[in-house]
Chain A
Amino acid sequence: MLDLRQYASLGAALKDALERWPNETCLIEADRDREKVRLTYSDFKEMAQPLCRALEDADFKAGDRSAIIMTNQSKWLISAYAILFCGGVLVPLDYKLTALEHLELLAHSKARFLVVEYYLWRAITQLPEFAQLGVEIVLVTEAPAGADLHGAYRWEEFRRKGDPKFVVRQREDTACIVYSSGTGGRPKGCVLTHDSYLEQCASLTAWYPFWPGVRYLSILPTNHAIDFMVGFIGPFVCGACVVHLRTLRPEFVRDAFVRYRISYVSLVPMVLKNLERGLRAKFDELQPPKRWALNRLIGLNRMMTRRRPRLRLSRRLLPEVHKAFGGALRALIVGGAFTDPATLQFFYDLGIPVACGYGLTEACTAVTLNDLKPFRADTVGKPLPGTEVRVLNPDGEGVGEVAVRSRALMSHYLDDPEMTAQTIIDGWLLTGDQGRFDGDGHLQLCGRKKNMIVTAGGKNVYPEDIELVFDGLGLKEFCVFAANFLWPQRTLGDEKLVLVLRLDEGQQIDDRLREEIGSRNRRLADFKRVAGYLLWEKDFPRTATLKIKRGELAAQIAESATRAQMVQI
């Protein structure tokens, strides 16, 4: 791999990667079972240079913010490369947000350029708020012939001949602004420097190296912190190959493992669980003697890999299972949310190493990771090299708030010094997560101190961000909380949001109101919906400026109501 200590910016490292391995395949894009693109590092350079040159001609300047809203595909990485080559700041936005949320984040980030897929652009242009879009240049990919692009350029035609000039950036310059959450409420744009990414990449590849020939299957959205690092920067600076799959259909994901002999893949717990369900269903179809033999082999593999993974041995013991994953899988990287230890153990017992970790966007990508020496299903691993982790104010069981210090941390939240000051204190990032260290230096997470949930799909949801949808409900007042924030429990997983309702004097909850709540709830993306409501009979405590005192209200609710009083919506 490249020696990242020698580089001042992501752009510089990526530029050298394209020179270093010209004939290695760096990118494959497949849609279902159809391969659409296959590029060597040299091809990639040839595709990217005319875009870099066109950006130059469009007066693209160092530090210009450029958003990307796309599903995983080759044009995502080519565009990101061009933006970084030209000294820009990348703003990767989640394509699963609504068009209105995209507009809000484009405005918040003050993006000057935007690269967007046609179907997403079409949705944005249909909103009345589109008139206020401040982006100057928009590049739309895969637009049908004759489509009205509302002043945007076709990505495929935005090209100029000639050699572009590389724009030098320094380690302390901003590389990316990544939104950890926050639309409709208070957007949290994590400002990450080139130093953050280069340091984080060096730490991660020290434990999980890539090399030419290694293939990484990219199915998490590339805007996600994990995939941006492990599905773009990491493989590229090591000469490895990224495989993009433009569908998440389980049958095509399974097929891609085999077709491309995948070495690594990053997954959120929901996808891992889905794979587990598929495998268990297959095992259940086996005739009793075969099932008995399989169980014996799994037991033997478990015993033989107790201290460390032994890939060759596991592949020989359980060839059918490993063939189903392509036969070249080195590890599943799992993060983004709480993962059931039983699921992790299930895969490890099959001889498939699972690198379970813990991270947050504010810390670039990962804070801790399982080094598999030995595998532990009950922890999120040890701090990565160069990362310090402390448990603040531990209780009798050693549990306290997890704090992190490293060069990979974000420098601040965009345009929010108040929230930055609350989150980073004396160089330590307060994560809001509760945890403890065990005797072997492994971190165990035990709950959350902050008022938010993380879904099994790895999405952060902050209650304040979804309250807007309930505005104007015919009642006195309402507030949304994470159920675990009201009633803390020493576990993670199955996290829910609860809508607290204060009715008007003499008002009763009736079918009309219940229906209205349900209908508004359905307007939210499925992972953002509240699970239930709680009737509250006192006025909410408020500040002099009439803001709800959430902490005080939460304490009152925790004292006088129980989780069981929540009514399912």
Chain B
Amino acid sequence: MAVPTIDHTLDEILNLAALHFKVPREKLTPDDDFFKTLGIDSLQALDLLTRLEHHFQIELPDYELQGVSDFRTLANRIQARL
């Protein structure tokens, strides 16, 4: 199966984050600080990571999220494992 482009991955992440935390998709942009935009703490961010793992069918260790606070960097980490 072809690996999706980084833009596609990013778009999927934004869609899933919007759905998971019940915020309008148009309010989220790639460089948003997701802790602030979504109003979540680090444990809720881990919840999102689990959701993303299921969607992309990959496994991401918790440390992949260490120091990551924007959707674009998160997309890069996920893309590297696709």
Residues of A within 8 A of B (CB): 71, 96, 98, 119, 246-251, 270-271, 274, 456-457, 522, 525-527
Q: A456-B41, A526-B42 are in contact. Are A249 and B62 (CB under 8 A)?
A: yes
In the complex, 14 of the A-B residue pairs with CB atoms within 8 angstroms, ordered by the A residue number, are A71-B62, A98-B67, A119-B61, A119-B63, A246-B61, A246-B62, A247-B46, A249-B50, A250-B43, A270-B41, A270-B42, A271-B43, A457-B41, A525-B67
A249 touches B49 (CB 8 A): yes
Whole-angstrom CA separation of A525 from B67 in the bound complex? 6
Residues of chain A within 8 A of B35, CB atoms compared = 526
Find residues 26-78 in chain B having any chain A CB closer than 8 Å to their own CB.
33, 35, 41-44, 46-47, 49-50, 61-63, 66-67, 69-70
Enumerate B2-47 residues with CB–CB distance to A below 8 Å.
Answer: 33, 35, 41-44, 46-47
Q: Closest chain B residue to A251 by CB distance?
A: B50
Does B47 lie within 8 Å of A250, measured CB to CB? yes
Tell me the smallest distance from the CB of A458 to a CB of chain B, in Å.
12
Interface class of chain B by DSSP: helix
- Expressed in whole angstroms, the Cα–Cα distance for A247 and B44 within the complex equals 13
**Which residues of B line the A interface, CB within 8 A?**
33, 35, 41-44, 46-47, 49-50, 61-63, 66-67, 69-70
Given A248-B46, A274-B44: A522 and B69 interface contact (C-beta under 8 Å)? yes
* Known interface pairs A249-B49, A522-B33; A274-B63 also in contact (CB < 8 Å): no
Cβ-defined partner of B63 (8 Å) among A71, A249, A250, A526? A71
Most chain-B CB neighbours within 10 Å: which of A96, A274, A526? A526
Q: For the complex formed, measure the closest distance between the CB of B78 and the CB atoms of chain A, giving whole angstroms.
A: 16
Q: Are A249 and B41 in contact (CB under 8 A)?
A: no
Q: Is the CB of B69 within 8 A of A274?
A: no
Q: Nearest residue in B to A271 (C-beta to C-beta)? A: B43
Q: Shortest distance in angstroms between A269's beta carbon and chain B's nearest beta carbon?
A: 10
Closest 8 CB pairs of A and B: A274-B43, A526-B35, A249-B46, A247-B62, A249-B50, A522-B33, A270-B41, A119-B63
C-alpha gap A525/B50 in the complex (Å): 21
Q: Which residues of A contact B50 (CB under 8 A)?
A: 249, 251
A98 to B62, CA, bound (A): 15
CB distance from B74 to the nearest CB of A (A): 13
Selected contact of B62 from candidates A248, A251, A456, CB within 8 Å: A248
Rounded to whole angstroms, the CA-CA distance of A183 and B18 in the bound complex is: 35
Verify A526–B62 contact, CB threshold 8 A. Answer: no
Q: Which chain A residue lies CB-closest to B41? A: A270
- Residues on A with C-beta less than 8 A from B41 are 270, 274, 456-457
Bound-state Cα–Cα, A494 to B35, Å: 15
* A525 nearest in chain B by CB position: B67
Q: Which residues of B contact A98 (CB under 8 A)?
A: 67
